[in-house]
Amino acid sequence: MKRSSTYHSYLSEKVCQDGRQRSGIFPGATVKIVRKMDQGTGTTTEGRVKEILTRSSFHPHGIKVRLEDGSVGRVCEVL
């Protein structure tokens, strides 16, 4: 199901307020992410960052990371 850009604006404002700046995220940091399959519900997964996948310094929906357990998603909160 295709979502409108309004949905993505809502997601970035309501779910991913932190975690949009790459400078605040580093390997070993504890974060909450929203995985691609959970974007519709906004369910978060907590873990430690293994690898930062987003190359740019900022992303409006959150920096994409891989957690130590292998989960990939966008950071919505740095703990």
Please state, in angstroms and rounded to a whole number, the distance separating the CA atoms of residues 48 and 6: 30
Written as tens digits, the pLDDT of the chain (79 aa) is: 445 455 555 554 444 457 899 988 999 999 999 999 998 888 999 999 999 999 999 999 999 999 999 999 999 999 8
Full-model pTM: 0.76
- Domains, the chain, in order of start with CATH, read 5-78 (2.30.30)
34-40: Cβ within 8 A, 24+ apart:
34/62, 34/73, 34/74, 34/76, 35/71, 35/72, 35/73, 36/72, 36/73, 38/73, 39/11
